[in-house]
Amino acid sequence: MSDIVLRHPKGSIVQILLYGATIVSWQAASQRDPEPRERLFVSSTAIRDGSKPVRGGIPVVFPCFGPPAHPEHSKLSQHGFARSSVWSWDNVIKDQDGRLSVTLTLEPTPAITALYTRPFHLSFVVTLGEFDLTTELHVKNTSGSTDYPPDYLEFQALFHNYILAPANEVLITPLQNNAYFDKTETTEEGKSTAKIETRAGVDVRKFTDSVYENASQNYEVTWPSGGIAIKTDNMKDVIVWNPQAEVGSKMGDMEKGGWEKFVCCEPGHVRGFEKVAPGMTWVGKQVLSVIHNARRHQN
């Protein structure tokens, strides 16, 4: 599959597929171990022929998270079309301290328009630093309508990060006292159970699929030998997911035992819909950075 590889002068590397604009590798050193190493999980049995989204890395979720719930999204598959469309790209920009940036773009194709008729323009900007990786999703409503009320573009968006980590030793902070919806427990009406997080550090030792609403937007995913910090902007919600063997063993593109090697910590706007007026642009951003020292606390 066509890809873009950015190589930072200090050794970090990011690989982005044009298919889905999916980041499938981010290698970075830390101040403790100077050798760049892989920071993302991609299943060794991921489908790489463009027939389905890649299982791992950082899939881009747009215009819907999960099964579609908006009338305009009714023909779309789970998590929308962005992660299974072929994006374009124009050039790579290198700034004065060696940071490298590339912009990928997606506009309505006949395949998309057959399922989704709203006008839009997406830009996905990836920036590679020595110890950090930034992704930004720019969503522009390209409608020329001057109607009132405005012809809003309504969508959800998320970065579906598969962080490479020993899943059964990971803690995610700070989520304590945050409201969340537990998708592993449903009510009689089939809705996720509403809860309040009581744990100082959230673990994924059991099958976990939790949607935290209006969270801190700054997270630490840590384990005894390291961690990744995630700072976000305009991404009010965050999902914590690990299928464990209970669900992972039934996923055709999840390698055996793969669920022990990652935690998904996914910032996004997934509860309710963002609304962008004609001609306006919404930007959601995350900065992933290597945590240089081991965990400061145990659960």
Looking at this protein, which amino acid is placed at residue 167?
A
- Judge whether 83 is annotated as a binding position: yes
Q: Does 271 bind ligand TA6 (CB under 6 A)?
A: no
Looking at this protein, which amino acid is placed at residue 287?
V
Positions marked active-site:
160, 266
**Of residues 73, 79, 140, 231, which one binds ligand TA6 by CB under 6 A?**
79
Restricted to residues 202-231, the positions that interact with ligand TA6 (CB under 6 A) are 209
Burial class (CB in 10 A: 0-12, 13-18, 19+), 92: middle
Q: Are strands 132-140 and 121-128 parallel, antiparallel or unpaired?
A: antiparallel
Closest CA to 210 of 236, 242, 173, 234: 242
Q: Does 237 bind ligand TA6 (CB under 6 A)?
A: no
Asked whether 85 and 116 are in contact (CB, 8 A), the reply is no
* Cα angle 240-242-248, degrees, rounded to a multiple of 5: 155
Restricted to residues 45-74, the positions that interact with ligand TA6 (CB under 6 A) are 53, 66
Residues with Cβ < 8 Å from 83, sequence gap 6 or more?
Answer: 20, 21, 22, 53, 54, 59, 60, 61, 160
Name the minimum Å distance from CB 264 to ligand TA6: 6
Q: Does 266 bind ligand TA6 (CB under 6 A)?
A: yes
Give the residue closest to ligand TA6 by C-beta. 241
Q: Does 180 bind ligand TA6 (CB under 6 A)?
A: no
Q: Does 278 bind ligand TA6 (CB under 6 A)?
A: no
Q: Does 186 bind ligand TA6 (CB under 6 A)?
A: no
- Judge whether 55 is annotated as a binding position: yes
66 vs 150, beta carbon nearer ligand TA6? 66
Restricted to residues 129-168, the positions that interact with ligand TA6 (CB under 6 A) are 160
Asked whether 221 and 172 are in contact (CB, 8 A), the reply is yes
Q: Does 239 bind ligand TA6 (CB under 6 A)?
A: yes
- Judge whether 99 is annotated as a binding position: no
Helices (H), 110-254: 110-113, 244-248
79 vs 231, beta carbon nearer ligand TA6? 79
Return d(Cα 128, Cα 119) in angstroms, integer: 30
Residues near ligand TA6, by CB under 6 A: 53, 66, 78-79, 160, 183, 209, 239, 241, 264, 266
Annotated binding site for substrate, which residues?
Answer: 55, 78, 83
